[in-house]
Each structure stands twice: as C-alpha cells, then as structure tokens.
Structure 1
Amino acid sequence: MQLAGILHRPESEDTAVLADHQVLIRLQTAQDIQSVTLKYADMYLWQAGAPMKTTTMQRGLATQAAQYWTLTVTVPTNRLIYGFQITGNDGKTIGYGDDGLFTDEATQWAITGHYFHLPYLHVSDAELPPAWVKDTVWYQIFPERFANGDQTNDPAKVQPWGQGPVQRDSFYGGDLRGIIDHLDDLADLGINGLYLCPIFTSPSNHKYDTLDHFEIDPHFGTKRDFQELVDAAHDRGMRVMLDAVFNHFGTASPQWQDVVKNGAQSRFADWFHIHDFPVGQDAKTGELNYETFGTAAMMPKLNTQNPAVRDYLIEITSYWLRQLDIDAWRFDVADEVDHGTWRAICAALRAVKPDVYLLGESWHTSASLVGNGQFDAVMNYPLTQPILSLFNQTVTIADYVGKTNLQLCQYRQPNQQVMFNALDTHDTARALTVLQDDPQKVQAALTLMMLLPGAPCLYYGTEAGLAGGPDPDNRRCMPWEPAPKTTAMYPIVQKLVKWRRSQTEFLATSQLSWQIHDGWLQLIRKDATQTVVGSFNLSQHSQTSAVVGKTIVSAGLTGDQLAADGFSLQVLNKR
C-alpha cells in the first residue's frame, strides 16, 4: 500500500456541501487500493453512546497517478466527524484521519483526535453557484465581428464585411444592432447564454483597453441599444454576460491621462503600479517605469489593493446589474488580481443580484479563485484544450483520460458543474484550424465536450465552420452568406446544443466513467434511468461498436460499425 498517495483535505474541493444536511466527501489514494470505508458520526451523539456509521465509498475517477473515492453523506444533525478505513490490494488495512495514519484497531477508532471534523454544515458556506448556469449553453460573441446592423455608427476606416486578411487594427463595423438582428438565429441554434467581449468605450477593435466602463462604445451603439438587446435576449430565455477588464486600463483612460499630466500629484497616481515619475519609457533601454498587462505599454496595470480602485470597480459592475439587468460578469486576467478585491467585488454583486454568475479568466488550474467568496467558476482551459490534442492524436487516449479526470477533481462538484468549457475563444486559434480543417473532428470534439461536466460555450461561427489561426485571424467576420443553417456543420451543432440542454439534470448528477479499447474511447454517463455513451474511434480502421441505442449524432456509424475517425452519441436503456 503506497501510503504517500493518501490525501484528504477538509473544507476544500474534497468536501462539497451539496444541500442542507448533505455533503460529498472525496479521498485520493494511489492505485493499489482495494476499497475504502467511511466511518462517520455526529461527534456529540457518538460521545454520548450512539454508534459510528460505516459506508463503503465508491471508486471514482482515476488520474495518471491517483485513484479517487467519493461518497455523498446525509447528516441529520449537520455535524460530522469522519475517518477512512483503507484496504490495500494486499488485504492490509489502515486508518486515516485528521492527524494522519493510524492502526486499524478498535482502540484507535475510539480516539476523537483521529477524525476529520466538519463542526457544522452551513448551506450559505457552500456558496452554491446559480442553478440556471447548469442549463446554459453559452455563445461567445466578439461584437466587432459578429454582424453590422447599423452602418451609421461604423468607424471611419471600416472594411467591407469579411474581406481580409484580418489585421490587429482592422475594423468591420460589427455592433449591438447586429446581435439583436440575429437573436432568433441563436435561439434556433438552441443557445440560451450570450457572452459578449467588452463593449465599453475603447479605441481598439477588441475593447480590452477600456476608457470608460460606464459607456457603450459609440461604434457599437448606445445604452438604449444594449437595453433592447438585454430585453430581447431575456424574452427568448437567454442570459447575458459582459466582460470586465479590471487588471488594467487603457492609456487613453481619463485616470491614466491625469497621471501623465500631473505625475505624482495626480489623484490617480496610486491607482496604478508606477515606479517613478513622469511615467513613460526609457529612451535607451525601452523599459517602462510602470507595470502593465504582459508587456503591453498601452495597458497599465491597476493597483487593485487600493480601496478607491476597489470601490470604483464595484460601482461599475453594480451599475450594469442594477440599471441594465445583465445576468453575469466575466473578469479578464482574473488570476493577476488580488483575492481581496475579488471577494469585495463578488460580495457586492451578489448583494445586488443573488443569482448573478461570476466567472474568472484563468488559463491554469485555479481552485484558489473558485469559492471562498470569489468566483462561481473559471474558464476551464485545462479541461477543454486537451480535447484538441486527443483528436490530433498528440496525446495518448490513456493520458488524455488521466489528465481530464485530474481536472474534474480540482473543484467542488457544484462548481465543476458550472465551469466555463470552450474549445476555442477570442484568445485561441479556432478549433477547426487546430484540428487540421477537419469538420468531423470538430464535431467529435464538441460531442465529447457536451458530455463533460460544466457549462459549454461555442465561439461565434463554429456552427458555420468558421476557421482561423492565432489572434487576430481567430477574429474573422461571422459568415452570414450563405446562411449558417445551410452549412454541413450546423445540424450537428444544433442537435448537440439542444440535446445538451435537454439533459441538464442528468448530466449534473449522473456518474461519469471511461472505457479504453485499442484506439477506441468511450465516455459513459449513467444514472438509474438511462445510459448515454459517446464513442470515438481514434484508430485507423473500422471497429465494431457494442453500443445499440438511439443515436443523437454520429459520423461514420453504419449499423454496429464505426469507421476510422468516426464518432457517435447514443442513448441506451431509457425508461
């Protein structure tokens, strides 16, 4: 028994309060463990003579190095002490609790100090994410490139729609009116969540160098237009998420310009990370004397630990909730802003709208940003990017499964269900381009993503087979001619989106498991009512599928034969 592989941390992602009186407990071990029994009780009742309860834990997901064990426990009194009785493949047993490992003897189990403690389970401490997010399929829009609905507000140097190649400073005239005009198209696709990249005043096409967070960029329209967009989206059952950039401002922002003008005497001098004055760039070395987002001189980094800055950011985000009735915020570069600021902002926003969805941008595993008074979820790149590697066959199937299972164990279960899952975004190359311009591989990747826990997101144009390399090529204009509905990609994407939304509760509560054959991967979701199987043939030859059931989507499936590179999503045993 590899004792070094045993790990559990109370009040972490290993213990998730699911509801009043209900907690999910998880244990990590090495892969040489035969079984795990959970021993638990209310400490006070146990000390008064009530018996300790024992329940066998379920063998859960396995990573490349570890095995996870899970159990959902109902606690009538909301107080809990618990310990793990672990049995190795060699038949030997050991106890594990708050003070580490101990011998599996009755006298040892009688010692209170051996047990982990959850003194009292408060549902409010669980910080359960908004329930509506589990039912959401998001659609990310880069507003400048989605649709030009009002040519009267076009920038001076606007280019004809879709003509390229796209440059970093290209303008095509996309605006809010264009989004409003196509809401019915998105509703037909099955979308019920709109994520808009920044729409606030900015000199750039991407708007991540904001000048005024309280105003809509005039090239996009007006607040009246945006209110119409929100109302029209809500009428169609769609939620709206805006993008906030609080790690940095643009150099044309009034706060930064005041610093440029007044130096150390500016009332905004301590709003930024400035090393000396006047602010600028050394003529010889080219070094900046202020901190920025990355190395971008035009994006000076905010000092978010300044209370005045925090108050201003709270004022901004609260305004759009109160006045325009948005439903969610996505926060750019969230991992470079201090946790205290996020706790302050998130608490203020939940006070305004308790079911607001708060999402942080992070490109790595970021459990420290989720919960604990901060975000409901983060952008789940570590979970979704390996999907592309799988279908490009730059990672083995076994390694893909191990890496994916590891990510599925990084967050509490309620948060995992609302993580933001996207194959591509405005910051990555398009999935179609990454997958060698093979539409069938994109369809297979989307099928796999739709089966995983989390809230899936489509990047605009995916349904029309839009390609694109790294930024700025990934921000091509949405192709409206021919209509997306006429493309080969559209019906598959539409079926996946609508099926995913029809299975909200099933995908939130069903067990997840994998089967790996020779070049063949199956992802299985199962509960008492049905079994759903995603099959992916990554080999170079046709294989016989043991799956027989209702087919939701497929490619290369003929009878029980799945062709090379084929995939299928099938429902079995539905009652």
Structure 2
Amino acid sequence: MQLAGIRHRPESEDTAVLAAHQLQVRLQTARDDVAQVEILFADSYLWQEGTTALERRIMQPGLATQGNQYWQTTLTVPTNRVVYAFLITDTTGATVGYGEGGFFDDVATNWQTVGNYFHMPYMHVSDAELPPAWVKETVWYQIFPERFANGVRQNDPANVQPWGAGRVHRDSFYGGDLPGITAHLDDLAALGVNGLYLCPIFTSPSNHKYDTIDHFEIDPHFGTKADFQALVDGAHARGMRVMLDAVFNHFGEQSPQWQDVIKNGEQSRFADWFHIHGWPVGRDPKTKRLNYETFATGAAMPKVNTQNPAVQAYLIDVTKYWIEQFGIDAWRFDVADEVDHGFWRALCGALRAIKPDVYLLGESWHSSQSLVGNGQFNAVMNYPLTQPILALFNGQLNPEDYVGKTNLELMMYRQPNQQAMFNALDTHDTPRLLTTLHGQLTKFKSALTLLMLLPGSPCIYYGTEVAMAGGADPDNRRCMNWQPDEQEQQVRQFVTRLIKFRRQQADFLATSQLTWTIDGHCLILTRTDVEQTIQGRFNLGTQAVSAGSDASPILTAGVAADEVAPGGFELTVV
C-alpha cells in the first residue's frame, strides 16, 4: 500500500458541511492502489459513554487525478458532533487504519481508541459559509461597458471613434455606456442569461476603468447614477442579478488620495494609504526604479495599503454603498490574490451582515484555496478549470491528462464552493474563444458545451454568443456588432439553446455524480443521479466517429448521417 499517497485534512476542502447535520468527507489515496475505503464514525461523547455504537460506511470512489484517487461519502450527524477514521484496503487485501495520529494497525483495540480518530467537535452551518443558492443557477454575461453599446451620444468622450471603426488600441474610445446596456436588456433576456457582470464603471481616465479615481461616482462617459439605477432595476425586473467590479489592490494615479501624496509628500494624510519606500514619490535617481509599490510594474496604479484601518473603512464603505443605495447583488474583486486576507475577511463579513445572499468573487489565475471560505470569498475566477478546456480542443492536452487536471481542480474546493466557481472560457483579459480555437466553430460549440456540463457558475463574454473574434488585449475588447446580418445567428441560436439547457438542469448539474470515460478519441462526460443521466460525447480525434447513443441528442455540433465530425459533440439526456 502506498501510504505516502493517503491524505485527509479535517476542516479543509476534505470536509464540507452541506446542510444541517450533513457532512461530506473526502479521502485521497494513490491511484490504482486501493480497492476499498470504509469510514467508521460516531458521536464521541455517546460512543465513549457506551450509548451508541460506531457506524461503518463504504466510501464511493470519486474522481481520479493523474496520480491520486478520491473517495467520498456524506454522513448524517444528528448531534453535529462526530469523530471518524478510515479503514483502507489495498488491491492485495492488506488493510490499515488512518486517523488524526496517522496510520495504525487494523486491530480491535486501535478502533476503540478515540485518539486515533479525526475530530469534528461541532458542525456549525454558519461556519460552512454556504454560497448563495442562486449562484449555482446563474449563467453570467460579462460586459466591458465601453464596447457594448452606445446609448447616449451626449456623454461620449471628446476623442470618440465611430462605433466599431478601425483597429482597437489601448487608448481607443467608442462611447459605450450604461444606457446602451439597458437598451439591450431584452436581447440578453432572450439569450437566457440571468446574471450581468460589469467591468468597472467608476470614474477613471481609461477605457477599461481599472485605474479608479473615485469609487463613489459613475464615470460621466458611462452615464449617471440614475442611469445605473435604471439598469439595475431593469435587470432585476427580468430576473437578472447584477455584479460590479471593484479594484482595491490599487488606485489610479489621478485619484485624490494619490494626488494628495504627490502634492504634500510625507505630510499627506494619505501617505500611509500606499506602500511608499522613499520621498518624493517617483523613480529613484540611482536605480531608476519606482520607490512605491504598484500593480504589476505600471507607475499609474499605486498599490493600496489595505492593512491600514482607514483604508479598510473607506473601501468597505464603497462596497456597502452600492449595495444599500442601488441594490446590486454581487461584487467581483480585481487582483484579489495580492490583497491581504485580513482585509478580505473584514470586508466580506461587513457585506454579509447587510446582505446575507451577496455573492463575493475574487480574481485569481491559479488555484486559490486560501481565498475561498475562511470568512472570505464564495468563489474565485476559475481559470485553472477552464483553460485546460482550451488546451484540450486545441490538441495541446490529450484526454487522459485533461481529465486528470480537471479532476484535480474539482477536488480543490469544497463542493458548495465548487458549485459557485466562476467558469469562463474567455474574458476581457484573454483572447476570445473563437480566436483561441482558430475560428473552428464546431470546436467552439463543443468547448462551450463542456463548460456548461461542469460544476460552477458559467459565464459568456459579450459577443461570444455571436462568435466574435479577437486576440489578446486590446483586440479582445472590440465593439459589439449589433447588425443582425453581420452576426453569426446560428451560433446565437445554439448558445441560447445551450443556456436554456444549463438553467433547466442547474440543480442537477450542481450535485449529480460526475464521471469521465475515454473511448478511443472520444471523451465522454456523464452526469448521473437517481432520476436521470446526462452525457456529453466529444470527438477529439481527426476522423469522424459513429454517433454513440441510441437516445436522440438534445444538442449537437458536427453531427450528420449518424457520425460525429472531428471536434464535434452530441449531448443526450436519459
């Protein structure tokens, strides 16, 4: 038995309070090494008093990564108190016990020793920090406001270009605004999305608005607070939630706080709002390096000292203001992984106190267990889960490695948080999906379908529903094309059907069992519960394959004459 492959950490992603008296438990073992895992558990007080016996349950094999197998079960714990240990049997029949003190021999006296067991002293549902129930039912639509639609020309910037004209540059302005978004809410409702994620809308000199001047004001080129309220009200009337984007890692150089630092130097009342290592602020004459910290290496975005109580109070007030005054439903926080955890706990706690069902999302490009739960975010932007999908359909990952990497990410977080992860195949920070897949519409549709079958809260980037192209930033931020005869209408129809399917099956896709099968060059993803089975079959080879199901597929791409073309798929419900 490969003991080094066995791992369990209580009160981590390996245990999840799902509801009152319900505890999900996971165990990791080496892959292809273990034949069976039993969990033995009891209320420690009642067991030691002799009023109850140990219960035993065989755990089910779950997902497997490239090197490990996961085992899983859900325990019912009437008293909310439980101790538990694992009896592990390998493929040769050898057994070992595993608990808080490590491994122990499988003999009766060891199983009667409470010190050998992992302890869950008391299960508090409040400690579970369960994400809002509505999130797993949400299909998001991300909007880059400056490029979505120009609703009011009177607020256009002075240097505005004709809509969609010319090549997009980093300093291009086209006049997109909040009234433009409101005017197209019916289009979005028809598409089927029920969550709007808006990139920053606060005052800023740039088109992207990630260099904020004033967090309490709408950028005048985007409209007014009345315009924003109309947008929120219109979205809510159509059953859509609204998520704003906040940049608290850094401010823009034109912010009044930073300008005061430039003017007054060490005497500025905002001097300790930033990470400054020399005066006056600027470049060191010897090293030519900035003497203050910034986002990345850009001088125009000074990094904020979020450990300063005054900074914390200001930023918390910002987030509370837009919830209390305008009724927004969620916040996405930019560069969340570079901000201290103490601040995030203070902010998230303050927001949950005024809006218990607020969705709090952190931006991160890597696995981020330290940001999820523990008083912080419900979820993060799940690039480690979604980027392998792109590599899979571009032939950069074989199916076996794709499954291993994906399963590793699916096991990275507790199940309730995994249901709330923000899953997107393209965003304002990445090349567009169609361009990444080299214009291949069949693979484009397959990738979106695979995304919608995975746990999490999926997102469509504006224009993806009509197969907009675009390379790296700023080319991925082109103006939305609103001319129907210039849009890929068959793609929009496909995405509309796919979103409808996802929303109809949201609860099922959040909780059902997930299994992978590799059949030749086909990757098969199956989701199952006691009532139904949903299966997506994706042809990753270079030759057509026979259609693989007797059931009539509800959605396909690249399927004709009972064959699935390379890059195509069929989706069936049984």
The alignment's TM-score, normalised by the length of structure 1, stands at: 0.98
Counterpart contact for 1:361–1:379, Cα < 8 Å = yes
Given that residues 202 and 213 in structure 2 are in contact (C-alpha distance below 8 angstroms), is that contact kept between their aligned partners in structure 1?
yes
Provide, for residues 250-295 of structure 1, a one-character-per-residue CA deviation record: whole Å limited to 9, x for no partner. 0100000000000000000000000011101235643101000000
**8 Å contact from structure 2 (residues 142, 197) kept in 1:** yes
Task: Report the equivalent of 2:38.
Answer: 37
Q: Report SS of the residue matched to 2:245.
A: strand
Kindly state the Cα deviation for residue 492 of structure 1 after the two structures are TM-superposed. 1.0
In structure 2, the residue matched to 1:357 is 359
SS in 1 for 2:388: helix
Cα distance, 1:476 vs structure 2: 0.4
Matched position secondary structure for 1:367: coil
SS of the residue corresponding to residue 554 of structure 2 reads: strand
Distance in structure 2 (CA, Å) of the matches to 1:186 and 1:262: 48
Q: Does 1:226 align with 2:228?
A: yes
Contact residue 481 and residue 487 of structure 2 kept, 8 A:
no
Corresponding residue for 2:244?
Answer: 242
- The Cα offsets for residues 426-481 of structure 1, whole Å up to 9 and x where unpaired, read as 00111111101112111100000000000000000001110100000010000101
Aligned pair 1:70/2:79, yes or no? Answer: no
Separation in structure 1 between the aligned mates of residue 550 and residue 212 of structure 2, nearest angstrom: 54
Aligned 8 A contact 1:464 1:485 in 2: yes
Q: In 2, Cα distance between the equivalents of 1:306 and 1:360?
A: 20
Instruction: State the partner residue of 2:5.
Output: 5
2:193 corresponds to 1:213: no
Q: Distance in 2 between matches of 1:474 and 1:76?
A: 53
Aligned to 2:152: 150
Q: Tell me the SS of whatever aligns to 1:101.
A: strand
Offset from partner CA, 1:352-406 (integer Å, 9 cap, x none): 1110000000000001100010000000000001100000010111000000000
- Cα 1:224/1:504, change in 2 over 3 Å: same
Over the matched positions of the two proteins, sequence identity in percent amounts to 68
Query: Are 1:465 and 1:489, in contact at CA under 8 Å, matched by a contact in 2?
Result: yes
Alignment of 1:243-392 (within 5 A): 243-283=245-285, 285-392=287-394
Give the aligned length: 572
Alpha-carbon distance in 1 for matches of 2:488, 2:83:
59
Distance in 2 (CA, whole Å) between partners of 1:317 and 1:223 is 15
- Counterpart of 1:438? 440
42-51 or 331-340, which deviates more: 42-51
> Which of 163, 177, 190 is the equivalent residue of 1:175?
177
Letter in 2 for 1:198: P
Q: 1:548 aligns with which of 538, 547, 550?
A: 550
Letter in 2 for 1:19: A
Give the TM-score, by structure 2 length.
0.99
Q: Could you tell me which residue of structure 1 aligns to residue 20 of structure 2?
A: 20
Task: Check whether the contact 1:305–1:338 (CA below 8 A) recurs between aligned residues.
Answer: yes
Deviations 1:293-314 (A, max 9, x none): 0001000000000010000000
Q: Which residue of 1 aligns with 2:49?
A: 48
SS at match of 1:369: coil
Contact 2:204/2:212 (<8 A) preserved: yes
Q: Distance in 2 between matches of 1:180 and 1:493?
A: 21
Q: CA deviation at 1:511?
A: 0.3
Which amino acid letter does the alignment assign opposite residue 533 of structure 1? Q
Q: 3-state SS of the aligned residue for 1:9?
A: coil
User: Compared with structure 1, are the counterparts of its residues 528 and 484 closer, same or farther at alpha carbon in structure 2 (3 Å cutoff)?
Assistant: farther
Among residues 79, 88, 91, which one is paired with 2:90 in the alignment?
Answer: 88
Alignment of structure 1 residues 451-530 onto 2, 5 Å = 451-482=453-484, 487-530=489-532
Matched residue SS, 1:210 = coil
For each residue in 1:233-263, what CA deviation from the matched residue of structure 2 results, as whole angstroms up to 9, or x when unmatched? 0000000000000000001000000000000
In 1, the alpha carbon distance for the partners of 2:281 and 2:488 equals 54
Aligned counterparts of 2:558 and 2:214: Cα–Cα separation in 1:
51
The answer as to whether partners of 2:442 and 2:558 remain within 8 angstroms in 1 is no
- 1:172-199 CA-to-partner distances (Å, cap 9, x unmatched) read 0000010000000000000100000000
Whether the aligned pair in 2 keeps the contact of 1:495 and 1:552 (CA below 8 Å) is no
Structure 1 range deviating more: 62-71 or 485-494: 485-494
Runs of 5+ consecutive residues of structure 2 not aligned to the other structure: none
**1:560 CA drift (Å):** 4.2
**2:154 is matched by which residue type in structure 1?**
T
- SS of the aligned residue for 1:488 comes to helix
Write out per-residue CA displacement over residues 469-524 of structure 1, whole angstroms, 9 at most, x where no aligned residue. 00000100001012687622111111111110001111112100000021110000
Which amino acid in 2 is paired with 1:417? Q
Structure 1 position 556, deviation (Å): 2.2
Aligned twin of 1:561: 563
Partners of 2:513 and 2:221 in 1: CA distance: 48
Task: Name the SS for the 2:559 alignment partner.
Answer: strand
User: CA offsets per residue over residues 29-64 of structure 1, 9 Å max, x none?
Assistant: 001100100000001111122210000000000000
CA shift, 1:555, in A, is 1.5
Unaligned runs of 5+ in 1: none
Structure 2 CA distance for aligned equivalents of residues 199 and 89 of structure 1: 58
- Determine the C-alpha separation between the residues in 2 that align with 1:457 and 1:11: 30
